[in-house]
Chains A and B, each alone.
Chain A
Amino acid sequence: MYPEDLKYTKSHEWAKIEGNKAKIGITYYAQEQLNDIVYVELPEVGTTINKGEPFGVVESVKSSSDVYMPLSGKVVAVNDMVVDQPELLNEDPYQNWLIEIELENPDEANELMDAEEYTKFVEEEEKNH
């Protein structure tokens, strides 16, 4: 459920770091909690956004949630497919990334969780509900 090659945030985003770029998406847990996703809003290419700041919105029938930058960077690509077909995020949240960024400060990656840490974090969250 949580691939080994990704880094994770407490707000349930993942980042796949490749050189000085990273693809960003939402985790299996995030899409499961949201239920049927009906709308996705993403930033424009060229926008620079800091780590921890919201970069878009993911909406389900139940609620609307901001999605936050796992790492600081400039948006170099957005995945228009998920904007047209938001259900793709429910079908495969890892294949269907949201944005790609150029990293501003690659060291920030050290502050993110790995798959094992994130799995434990999600278990804790589930217990609290």
Chain B
Amino acid sequence: MYQQAKYNEPLLNEIKGEEEKEISVDVPDKLKRKSLNIPNLEEWQVVRHYTRLSQMNYGVDINTYPLGSCTMKYNPKLNEEIAKWFSYLHPYQEESTVQGALQIMYELQEMLKKITDMDGFTLQPAAGAHGEFTGMLLVRAYHEYKGELEKRRNVLLPDSAHGTNPASAAMAGFNVIEIPSNEKGMVDLEALEAATDDTTAAFMITNPNTLGIFEEEILEIAKIMHKNGALLYYDGANLNAIMGITSPGIMGFDIVHLNLHKTFSTPHGGGGPGSGPVGVRGELVDFLPVPIVRHDGEKYYLDYNVKHTIGKVRSFYGNFGVMVKAWAYIKRLGGEGLKNATIRAVLNSNYLKERIKGYYELPHKDLRKHEFVVKPKNARALDVAKRLLDFGVHAPTIYFPLIVHEALMIEPTESENKETLDKFAEIMLQIAKEAEENPEILKEAPHNTAFKRVDEVLAARKPVLTWKDKR
């Protein structure tokens, strides 16, 4: 049985260090600082502190991390090595001295264009939600240019949408209208058609959707939008299900955001750094943020000259280190490799679904893409999630999408092999059995982690946000 390490680890500033010594430097006394409010520790003390903390932590380097909608695939260490080569660059350096960095950005733009079938890309947005917001600003600028912004006030989205979608649309000043899903778990086409008219600015959707179901009517959806002069927006969170098989461009999308930190294997979780490039097609390229990296046949340069640009959306050029890692990942896999990653991600998801579906309820239709949503039969999703931790695997996403009550959203990714999938399935089956025979063990879980069940309600009502509040 799994048992997580547990140390009674003090905060860094509670560890007793050396007495502060007068440092002898040739500086006048009045300019010398008398005390410095940082821990005065030796290297081994700091290393042991962080190593212990890391042993009480969990990550994709330890075991399975099936966090639905987050694509927690393994991040090859080679990407990190390559990113290190660039760590001494400064964003204010002369263009002529950073040709290599610009080449990486240029090639990444080009590769993302090919993967998505878009005509132009900006690499600036710092993460997915930032990409969405940038996309909504592009929608705004486009309709404004056409003189239609005043009447096109509404952004439509399905009731299975990621929560960031309505937030991004609202932040860009649009009204949000929710479109219901049908009994198959897909967008209700009739409801969408009825809600779309000349007040519609855009429809935001992810495909496959958050249930892991491919929106089969996507071409019809695109037709409805374009007939009404509205734009179709692709939330790229689920690109790992279609990459190399089809593309947002083929499906009729106008604007796309990608999450390099999900699909393209750069580390994430714990707040970043992420990267959320935005691609567009047709005349929308004239609205992209500046600068864009271009190549004039001899050298790479930053182009600030974009006709109707919405301006900058991020300081400097975005999270460059993340771009390098994504570039390395794409280069290493190549087109065939990316396609195989997709095929295996979808296969893994469907294999796992088949292994556990007798023990968990599977709402809507059967065939899924890279992730699937189930409901426990005799337990709360929260308790199943907590119990999973006892077996040394990370819990899936829970209580999302909102249209499935007690949802467990499982995305194994292509990283896992059959052995780890079987192991995960067996744990899920054992938990289903426990829910029937010994429900208390779920309700009191986790038992084997460094910290037992935390009081989420108290944490939300009375948050402790700094170490000083801990007192």
Interface, chain A (partner B; CB < 8 A): 36, 38-39, 59, 61-64, 86-87, 129
Residues in A neighbouring B84, C-beta threshold 8 A: none
CB–CB B457/A38 < 8 A: yes
- B residues 431-470 near A (Cβ < 8 Å) are 456-457, 460-461
Say yes or no: is B402 at the interface (Cβ < 8 Å to chain A).
yes
CB–CB A38/B460 < 8 A: yes
Residue count of chain B within 8 Å CB distance of chain A: 8
Partner of B461, one of A38, A63, A64: A38
Q: 1/0 per residue B391-412: CB within 8 Å of A?
A: 0000000010010010000000
CB–CB A39/B399 < 8 A: no
CB–CB B461/A87 < 8 A: yes
CB–CB B456/A61 < 8 A: yes
Residues in A neighbouring B399, C-beta threshold 8 A: 62-63
CB–CB A86/B402 < 8 A: no
User: What are 9 of the A-B contact pairs (CB < 8 Å)?
Assistant: A36-B457, A59-B460, A61-B456, A61-B460, A63-B399, A63-B402, A86-B461, A87-B461, A129-B405
CB–CB A39/B460 < 8 A: yes
A contact patch SS:
loop
Residues in A neighbouring B456, C-beta threshold 8 A: 61
The closest CB in chain A to the CB of B405 belongs to: A129
Residues in A neighbouring B457, C-beta threshold 8 A: 36, 38, 61
Measured CA separation A87–B399 after assembly (Å)? 21
Report the minimum CB–CB distance from B133 to chain A (whole Å). 18
- B residues 380-424 near A (Cβ < 8 Å) are 399, 402, 405
Measured CA separation A112–B89 after assembly (Å)? 64
Of A62, A63, A64, A86, most B-chain CB atoms within 10 Å: A62
Report the minimum CB–CB distance from A57 to chain B (whole Å). 12
Residues in B neighbouring A64, C-beta threshold 8 A: 163
Measured CA separation A86–B460 after assembly (Å)? 11
Measured CA separation A61–B456 after assembly (Å)? 7
Q: 1/0 per residue B17-31: CB within 8 Å of A?
A: 000000000000000
Residues in B neighbouring A86, C-beta threshold 8 A: 461
Residues in A neighbouring B402, C-beta threshold 8 A: 63
Top 7 nearest A-B pairs (CB, nearest first) are A38-B460, A36-B457, A62-B399, A61-B456, A38-B461, A129-B405, A61-B460
Measured CA separation A129–B404 after assembly (Å)? 8
Residues in A neighbouring B163, C-beta threshold 8 A: 64
Residues in B neighbouring A59, C-beta threshold 8 A: 460
Measured CA separation A64–B399 after assembly (Å)? 12
Q: 1/0 per residue B151-171: CB within 8 Å of A?
A: 000000000000100000000
Measured CA separation A36–B405 after assembly (Å)? 16
Residues in A neighbouring B461, C-beta threshold 8 A: 38-39, 86-87
Measured CA separation A64–B166 after assembly (Å)? 13
Q: 1/0 per residue B341-383: CB within 8 Å of A?
A: 0000000000000000000000000000000000000000000
Measured CA separation A62–B460 after assembly (Å)? 11
